């Protein structure tokens, strides 16, 4: 079995954040706003994967906090 590339893992995490947020009734705009990420950033990430995961970590933390509250 071949290991996943950084790009594949990153996009999976981004998709997971969006899906989890949608389940909670949140938009990606709301997640971006709460995590301090510009709304255009996830779209840009889909075109060109960044070299760091720090911002996606923030976005995941926002969704996780809302999941706990739900």
Note the pLDDT of residue 50.
87
Note the pLDDT of residue 14.
95
Instruction: Extract long-range pairs of 59-65: CB within 8 Å, 24+ residues apart.
Output: 59/14, 59/17, 59/31, 59/32, 59/35, 60/13, 60/16, 60/17, 61/35, 62/31, 62/34, 62/35, 63/17, 63/20, 63/21, 63/24, 63/26, 63/31
Q: pLDDT tens for residues 8-60?
A: 999 999 999 999 999 999 999 999 999 999 999 999 998 998 888 888 999 99
Note the pLDDT of residue 1.
61
Note the pLDDT of residue 67.
95
Note the pLDDT of residue 36.
94
Note the pLDDT of residue 23.
97
């Amino acid at each position: 079995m071949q290991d996943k590339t950084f790009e594949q893992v990153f996009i999976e995490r981004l998709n997971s954040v969006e899906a989890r947020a949608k389940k909670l009734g949140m938009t990606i705009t709301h997640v971006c706003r709460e995590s301090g990420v510009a709304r255009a950033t996830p779209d840009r990430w889909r075109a060109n994967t960044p070299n760091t995961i720090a911002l996606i970590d923030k976005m995941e933390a926002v969704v996780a906090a809302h999941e706990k509250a739900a």
